[in-house]
Amino acid sequence: HIGVRPDDVQLSPDPQGSSRIVSRRFTGIAFIYTVQLAYGSIVHSWQSNLVNLPVGAQVNAGIRPGHQLICFP
């Protein structure tokens, strides 16, 4: 298992996407999405309030380009 910050997880709507939005929570300035990946793992994604994805939407999830990930041994 690895930990990834929710702001590092990018979501792209795609009807053929391999991941699915299972819940979302509005925080006032952003949505925190709970996303089930193709192999069953769950990740969280922080998205601007301008990104409005419904629960059940198929998406592609990945690491946001340009974000340097920090690893802790």
Helices (H) and strands (E) in the chain, counts: 0, 5
Name the pTM for this structure: 0.86
| pLDDT tens readout for residues 3-35 | 788 888 999 999 999 999 999 999 999 999 999
Instruction: Tell me the C-alpha to C-alpha distance, in Å, between residue 34 and each of 26, 45, 47, 71.
Output: 12, 7, 11, 22
Using CA atoms, how far apart are residues 44 and 37, in angstroms rounded to an integer?
Answer: 10
The mean pLDDT of 57-72, rounded to a whole number, is: 83
